């Protein structure tokens, strides 16, 4: 077998573990890491949880740290273009050959653990996390920016003892696993707060903030909060640490940041959406808190790092005539933000929405937010077993949202985007949304068709 075949076989084995589903708990990952000589004990971490914005915050923080000369590992999920996107060092994905070697090493360990009736089968996310922690340790990174997979308390990433815990925000998600109230979900997210380690949060809900403060008091963990300042208020007149405000620019946006020590103006981020200003502010506040660990990043590195941040699939503009916009909003809170931000950042005559979702999401709430913006809707689905059926999405929209506008049901995502682009005129916009998996599929299809790889 050649190298690429070995890589595909390794991926097939990893994804085959997906049949074991979601099984929260730290027992299996702990045993696995012990067998690997606890690689996570030799690495420093920033642990980032929350409902939305985890990946963007992680990407901006990692980029700024890299610009300052640190060797940085970045662990995120899900991936957008390639599985190897999930574990990167200094902006470069893990090499296919290195992944194959790691899989060959851990496979017998996984089989041993999975055959133990006291532990049961390891899940895909647990194994991928173990692979990543081992990889980062052997790469000799200075710091890993580690994104939580699901929840926090029982997430496989919660085996680490981070320098700093970050919780971006809280809204309802994965209620079948995390609980069906904001308080229950916040309690699960708060599980990443560690004794004596500072917490940084961008949450706004008063009940959630009290829960976090109380948890920090119990663990003697310093509590820190990032606040967004409306554009009409001058940042310098607001007496809050870690405060941020932004202004829309043609290819992204500018922001001003007020922290404990840093006051920075006119920072540019190539990411659209007011919520990305808050994510950038969270990354900046994290940099300030990391100073206490002697991790220092100067202003020029911050400016360069933010400007160079790449995080595809979030209000991403791929083409201009018509506008082709990709956004992986996959829960009601993210879809609401998208529906609010889209008209502010893009100007178009008509909007054609290509939407594909996962069946285990609150599809009704998501559709109710985004569909009123559309002139035409194309219902499709990502190539994933958990995908919601497009016909069922359309049926719901017709029955419950009074969808009377032009719509189409096309299961195959390639044909769906082809039709949307055929319908759209040069002054119109096509938005692909509903899931990062849908965005990934459509983006890859479109780039292959156009002969690009950016």
Residue 52 contacts residue 338 (beta carbons within 8 Å): no
| Mean per-residue pLDDT, 35-59 | 96
| Mean per-residue pLDDT, 97-111 | 97
Confidence of residue 454 (pLDDT cuts 50, 70, 90): low
| Mean per-residue pLDDT, 215-231 | 87
pLDDT of residue 232: 46
Q: Is 132 helix (H, G, I), strand (E, B) or coil?
A: helix
Over residues 15-32, the pLDDT tens digits come to 999 877 778 899 999 999
Task: Could you list the beta-strand ranges (E) of 169-312.
Answer: 199-201, 223-225, 227-228, 243-249, 252-258, 263-269
Distance, in Å, from the CA atom of 151 to the CA atom of 157, rounded to the nearest integer, reads 10
Question: How much is the mean pLDDT over the chain?
Answer: 92
348-351 contacts at long range (C-beta below 8 A, 24 or more positions apart): 348/322, 348/323, 348/427, 348/428, 348/429, 349/425, 349/427, 349/428, 350/375, 350/376, 350/424, 350/425, 350/427, 350/428, 350/429, 351/375, 351/376, 351/428, 351/429, 351/430, 351/431
**Tokens standing for 141?**
């990174």
| Mean per-residue pLDDT, 294-310 | 97
Confidence of residue 241 (pLDDT cuts 50, 70, 90): low
Q: Is 246 helix (H, G, I), strand (E, B) or coil?
A: strand
Q: How many CB atoms lie within 10 A of CB 291?
A: 13
Q: How many CB atoms lie within 10 A of CB 212?
A: 25
Sheet holding 164-167, edge to edge: 92-93, 87-89, 72-75, 143-147, 45-49, 164-167, 199-201, 223-225
Distance, in Å, from the CA atom of 5 to the CA atom of 425, rounded to the nearest integer, reads 42
Over residues 385-438, the pLDDT tens digits come to 889 999 999 999 998 887 767 899 999 999 999 999 999 999 999 999 999 999
pLDDT of residue 173: 62
Residue 205 contacts residue 182 (beta carbons within 8 Å): yes
Superfamily name and number for 3-307: Mur-like, catalytic domain (3.40.1190.10)
The architecture CATH gives domain 316-450:
Alpha-Beta Complex (3.90)
pLDDT of residue 28: 97
Domain residues of the chain, as ranges? 3-307, 316-450
Over residues 163-213, the pLDDT tens digits come to 999 999 887 665 455 556 889 899 999 999 999 999 999 998 999 999 999
Distance, in Å, from the CA atom of 82 to the CA atom of 85, rounded to the nearest integer, reads 6
**Tokens standing for 47?**
């642990």
The string of DSSP letters for 273-314 reads: SHHHHHHHHHHHHHHHHHGGGT----HHHHHHHHHT---TTS
β-pairing verdict for 87-89 and 72-75: antiparallel
Of 214 and 451, more confident? 214
**Tokens standing for 392?**
């069922």
């Amino acid at each position: 077998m050649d190298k690429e075949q070995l890589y595909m076989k390794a991926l097939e084995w990893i994804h085959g573990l997906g049949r074991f589903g979601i099984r929260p708990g730290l027992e299996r990952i702990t045993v696995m890491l012990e067998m690997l000589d606890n690689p996570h004990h030799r690495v420093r971490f920033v642990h980032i949880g929350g409902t939305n914005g985890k990946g963007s915050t992680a990407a901006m923080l990692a980029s700024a740290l890299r610009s300052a000369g640190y060797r940085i590992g970045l662990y995120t999920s899900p991936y957008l273009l390639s599985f190897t996107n999930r574990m990167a060092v200094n902006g470069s994905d893990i090499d296919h050959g290195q992944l194959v070697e790691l899989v060959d090493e851990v496979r017998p360990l996984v089989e041993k653990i999975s055959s133990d009736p006291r532990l049961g089968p390891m899940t895909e996310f647990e194994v991928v996390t173990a692979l990543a922690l081992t990889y980062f340790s052997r790469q000799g990174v200075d710091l890993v920016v580690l994104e939580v997979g699901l929840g926090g308390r029982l997430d496989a990433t919660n085996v680490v003892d981070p320098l700093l815990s970050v919780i971006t925000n809280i809204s309802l998600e994965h209620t079948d696993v995390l609980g069906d109230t904001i308080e229950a979900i916040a309690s699960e997210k708060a599980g990443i707060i560690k004794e004596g380690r500072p917490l940084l949060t961008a949450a706004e809900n008063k009940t959630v903030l009290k829960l976090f403060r109380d948890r920090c008091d119990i663990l003697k963990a310093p509590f820190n909060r990032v606040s967004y300042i409306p554009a009409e208020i001058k940042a310098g007149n607001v007496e809050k640490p870690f405060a941020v405000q932004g202004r829309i620019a043609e290819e992204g946006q500018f922001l001003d940041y007020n922290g404990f020590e840093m006051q920075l103006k006119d920072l540019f981020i190539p990411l659209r959406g007011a919520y990305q200003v808050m994510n950038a502010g969270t990354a900046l506040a994290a940099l300030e808190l990391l100073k206490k660990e002697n991790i220092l990043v100067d202003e020029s590195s911050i400016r360069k790092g933010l400007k160079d941040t790449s995080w595809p699939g979030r209000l991403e503009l791929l083409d201009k005539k018509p506008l082709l916009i990709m956004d992986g909003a996959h829960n009601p809170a993210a879809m609401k933000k998208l529906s609010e931000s889209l008209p502010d950042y893009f100007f178009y005559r008509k909007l054609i929405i290509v939407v594909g979702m996962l069946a285990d999401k609150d599809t009704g709430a998501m559709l109710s937010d985004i569909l009123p913006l559309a002139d035409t809707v194309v219902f499709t689905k990502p190539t994933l077993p958990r995908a919601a059926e497009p016909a069922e999405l359309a049926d719901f929209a017709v029955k419950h949202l009074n969808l009377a506008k032009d719509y189409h049901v096309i299961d195959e995502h390639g044909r769906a985007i082809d039709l949307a682009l055929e319908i759209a005129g040069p002054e119109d916009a096509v938005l692909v949304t509903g899931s990062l998996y849908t965005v990934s599929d459509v983006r890859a299809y479109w780039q292959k068709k156009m002969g690009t790889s950016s």
